[in-house]
Amino acid sequence: MSYESRSLLVNGRKSAGSFKKKTMNLLKNPSTWLVWLSTMTLLLSSIGASWAQTLAAIDFDISAPVINHEPVERGTAGEMLTITAAIEDNVSVKSASVYFLTSTGQQFQQVSMSPDSAASVWLTTIDTVADDTQVSYYIVAEDQEGNRIQKGGQTNPFIVTLSDTEVSLSASTESKQQTGDKKQSNIILLVVGVVAAGLLLSGAGGGGGSDGGTVQSDDTCCTVTFTVDSTGGN
């Protein structure tokens, strides 16, 4: 055995003997043992209380908010587009935003949403210009712990089709005009029918015609019926 090995062995035996001696002295002296035990108990109690306070202070919120949204499908170019969503969280919602891209824009832009009086309903508006034909958008919400969720995305956004303001007004005016023309036509036909019925009834009251025809009027259904005499009498 080398000198170094013998030295390590001797030192190890001395350390083990010293530890054993100290332990035996501790066990032989009850007062020292009780002091050591009390100290360890207090130390462990302090550590346990500190850990309990630490764990109580930590909020293990790992749940992201929930977004309920009815997609907007149509709008009018040049007017503001309103986006609303019901956003809820098991603790509280920190923020919500709408990311949108118009047909005349180059990249998605962010606009913050605000809660209304109902608290769970968040809303915002998007500005459009007259040349816009559509708007792509998606919604992102975050809670106090940084848990995020989004509805839609840049690769699968919600699409809003925008109609031109003049086209919308023209279509509305044309629809109203067609409705008015139809009502006017119905009135004219009704007047013509009444006049024709009056003339026929007037002719019937003046006596038989040269062809011996007679006119009968049914007042209950306002229908004029003609009866032709096929005998050809004078």
The sign of the torsion formed by the CA atoms of 163, 121, 101, 153 equals negative
**211 within a domain of the structure (yes/no):** yes
Query: Could you tell me the two tokens for 190?
Result: 């009704």
What is the H or E stretch that residue 134 is in? strand 134-143
Q: Is the pLDDT of residue 153 over 80?
A: yes
- Residue 155, domain CATH: 2.60.40.10
**232 within a domain of the structure (yes/no):** no
**138 within a domain of the structure (yes/no):** yes
Supply φ then ψ for residue 180, to 5 degrees: -65, -40
Same domain as 154, residue 173? no
Q: How far is CA 205 from CA 58, 200, 233, in A?
A: 103, 9, 19
DSSP letter at 153 equals -
Q: How far is CA 56 from CA 49, 52, 59, 61, 80, in A?
A: 11, 6, 8, 13, 47
Least confident of 40-54, 103-117, 143-157, 194-208: 194-208
Question: In 10 A of CB 54, how many CB atoms?
Answer: 9
Query: Could you tell me the two tokens for 231?
Result: 């005998």
The pTM for the full model equals 0.51
Query: 90: domain range?
Result: 66-163
User: What integer pLDDT is reported at residue 183 of this predicted model?
Assistant: 60
Q: How confident is the model at residue 117 (pLDDT cuts 50, 70, 90)?
A: confident
Q: Is the pLDDT of residue 142 over 90?
A: yes
Are residues 119 and 93 in contact, defined by beta-carbon separation less than 8 angstroms? Answer: no
Q: What mean pLDDT, rounded, does the chain reach? A: 75
Q: Which of 168, 118, 113, 163 is nearest to 138 (CA)?
A: 113
Q: How confident is the model at residue 177 (pLDDT cuts 50, 70, 90)?
A: low
Same domain as 39, residue 21? yes
pLDDT tens figures, 17-49: 566 666 666 666 667 667 767 777 877 877 777
